Structure 1
Amino acid sequence: MRWCLSGPKPDILTACPFAHRGLHGAGVSENGMAAFDAAIAAGYGIECDVRLSRDGVAFVFHDATLNRMAGRDGLVAMLDAAALDQLRLPDGGPVPRLSALLARCAGRTPLLVEIKADDRHVDAICKAVARDLDGWPGAPVAVMSFNPHAMRWFVKQRVEQLRGLVVTQQGKGRMGAAITRALALWLAKPDFVACDVRDLPSPLSRRARRQGWPVLTWTVRSDADRARAAAHADQIIFEAGHD
C-alpha cells in the first residue's frame, strides 16, 4: 500500500516548540485559557484537543468524560454548548470554545488542533472545527488526529488545510501496527506526522524525514525525551517544565 505526504514543508510546524495542552501546571489547568496565555507569553506554539458539544460546537477539552477536568459525571458530547460554558476547570477558568482560543491566538501563535473523534462518524466535529477556522483565514493552524477518517474529511472538504496524523506504536503488535498505520496514512494523506516520542526512531519517522516532511513528537517530558527528539524529529510537543 502506497502513501504520500502532500504539500511543502510548512515553517509553522517547526518554528517553535508546542506547549502540550498549553503551558499548564502549578495551579494552571491543561487546555485552559490561563495555560494558553502562558504559552503565548513565552513565545511557544500551542497544542490543544477538541471535542464536540451535543449541539455541534467545538470545545477545547481532552477527555470524553467530564470527571477529571470538570468535576462532574457525564460526557462532553451529552451537553449543549450553553451548559459546557458554565463548567469550570480546576483553576477556575471556563472550558474554552475553539473559537475563543483562535481569537486569543489572533492569527499569530502557531496552533495544533487535535480532533478527538472516536469512530468513523467525524462529519459533525470536522465541520465545527472548519467553521471556526474560517474566521481566521491564513492563521498558522494545523489540524491533526489519531483518527484518519477525520483527516480524510479535510482531504475531501478542505484540502488546503494543513493536516497531520498522530501515531503511536505503544500497546500494538508489530505486524498489526504496520498494517493499521499504512491504512491510516492512505486515508489521511497527511502533510506531517506526530509520533509518540517513545517510538522514535521508527520506520515511519525515518521514511518521512528522508522525504523531507515534518515529524513532530509528543509528549516530551524529560531530558532523555529531548535528546531523542533532537535526533529523530523536527519539533517537539512538550509538557510544562520540560521545554
Structure 2
Amino acid sequence: MIPRLPDAFLGAPLAHRALHDVTDGRPENSRAAIRAAIDHGYGIEIDVQLSADNQAMVFHDYALDRLAEGTGPVRVVPAGTLGQTPLKGGYEGIPTLPEVLEIVAGQVPLLIEIKDQDGAMGDDIGPLEQATAAALNGYDGPVALMSFNPHSVARMAALCPDIPRGLVTGAYAADDWPLNAATRDHLRGIPDFDGVGASFISHEAADLARQRVADLKDAGANILCWTIRSLAEEAQAREVAQNVTFEGYLAPHPG
C-alpha cells in the first residue's frame, strides 16, 4: 500500500529551507532556522546533498560558494569538514541530516527533498538515498520524502517503503533547467507519479493551473507547492494547493 501524506503536512505552512533570515543569523537549512520554524509551529522543508564520505548533509546548493564560507562542490568535501564550514550569515557549520532529525524530534512535520545527484535526472543515484534512509531509521515523527528525480523517489520507495514520498514538479522552462528538451517534456507531464508510488506532488506555484495537477488532485493526490513569498501569492496558490512552502514572510496558520 502506498503511504499517504500525514494530515500534519496539510495544516501548518512549511518553512522553505526552514525559517531562514540571515539578518537574524538564520541561514537556509541551518540549525537556527530549523529551531525558529519549530518555535513558530511551522512544518519544515529541507534539502539534502551528499558529502565525499557518503553522508547526508542538510544543504541546498551543489556548490558551497553561495551559502557557505567555501568554494567548489559539496560532494568532494567530507562531512566533518562541511560541519566546520561556516554558513554565511550565521554562526554554525553545515548540519548533517541526523543532527537535524535530533533537533526536530517529531515536533513538527519534516519534508526532505533529495537533490538530484545524476545531473540529468537519470538513474546514476544511490549513495544519497542510502544515507538518507539510514538517518531516518528509527525516526518516528511526521516525515516525508521527495525529489525532482523520479529515480530517486523510486529508490526511496524500496529503502523506506513506509515513509510517504512525492515528486517535486513544475513547468521545466528551458531558461531555468539545463536539461535536454526531451527530459524537460517528460518530467513536465509527471508521468512517473504512479510508478514511483507517490502520494503527493510539490508543484511550482506559478504553474499550478496545469491540467495534469488538477487531474492528480482529482485522483486523490495531495498537492503542495513551492515557493510562496507573500500573502497574495499564498492566497492564489491555495485555490489549488492544500499547503504551501513559503519564505520571506510569516505565513498565517490555518484557522
Tell me, yes or no, whether TM beats 0.5.
yes
Query: Residue in 2 aligned with 1:34?
Result: 32
In 2, the alpha carbon distance for the partners of 1:202 and 1:178 equals 14
In 2, the alpha carbon distance for the partners of 1:8 and 1:81 equals 32
> Post-superposition shift, 1:149?
0.7
> Post-superposition shift, 1:118?
3.0
SS in 2 for 1:39: helix
Query: Residue in 2 aligned with 1:78?
Result: 76
SS in 2 for 1:89: coil
Matched ranges for 1:1-243 at <5 A:
6-25=2-21, 26-27=23-24, 28-90=26-88, 91-119=90-118, 120-136=123-139, 138-172=140-174, 177=184, 179-180=186-187, 181-243=189-251
In 1, the alpha carbon distance for the partners of 2:57 and 2:100 equals 9
**What percent identity do the matched residue pairs reach?**
35
Deviating more after overlay: 138-147 vs 219-228: 219-228
Q: CA, structure 1 residues 14+139, in 2 after alignment: closer, same or farther (shift >3 Å)?
A: same
> Post-superposition shift, 1:128?
0.3
Question: What is the identity, as a one-letter code, of the residue corresponding to 1:14?
Answer: L
Deviating more after overlay: 170-179 vs 52-61: 170-179
In 2, the alpha carbon distance for the partners of 1:103 and 1:194 equals 25
Number of residues paired by the alignment? 238
TM-score by length of 2: 0.87
Q: CA, structure 1 residues 8+163, in 2 after alignment: closer, same or farther (shift >3 Å)?
A: closer
Greater relative contact order: 1 or 2 (C-alpha under 8 angstroms, separation 6 or more)?
1
Q: CA, structure 1 residues 87+230, in 2 after alignment: closer, same or farther (shift >3 Å)?
A: same
Q: CA, structure 1 residues 61+151, in 2 after alignment: closer, same or farther (shift >3 Å)?
A: same
Q: Do 1:31 and 1:61's aligned partners in 2 also have CA atoms closer than 8 Å? A: yes
Q: In structure 1, list runs of 5 or more residues that go unmatched.
A: none
Q: Do 1:13 and 1:214's aligned partners in 2 also have CA atoms closer than 8 Å? A: no
Question: What is the identity, as a one-letter code, of the residue corresponding to 1:111?
Answer: L
In 2, the alpha carbon distance for the partners of 1:157 and 1:176 equals 25
In 2, the alpha carbon distance for the partners of 1:210 and 1:175 equals 27
In 2, the alpha carbon distance for the partners of 1:49 and 1:240 equals 18
Query: Residue in 1 aligned with 2:178?
Result: none
Q: CA, structure 1 residues 203+189, in 2 after alignment: closer, same or farther (shift >3 Å)?
A: farther
In 1, the alpha carbon distance for the partners of 2:141 and 2:132 equals 14
In 2, the alpha carbon distance for the partners of 1:204 and 1:175 equals 18
> Post-superposition shift, 1:139?
1.5
SS in 1 for 2:33: helix
Runs of 4+ in 1 over 4 A off after TM superposition: 172-178
In 2, the alpha carbon distance for the partners of 1:96 and 1:221 equals 25
TM-score by length of 1: 0.91
In 2, the alpha carbon distance for the partners of 1:179 and 1:79 equals 33
In 2, the alpha carbon distance for the partners of 1:183 and 1:92 equals 43
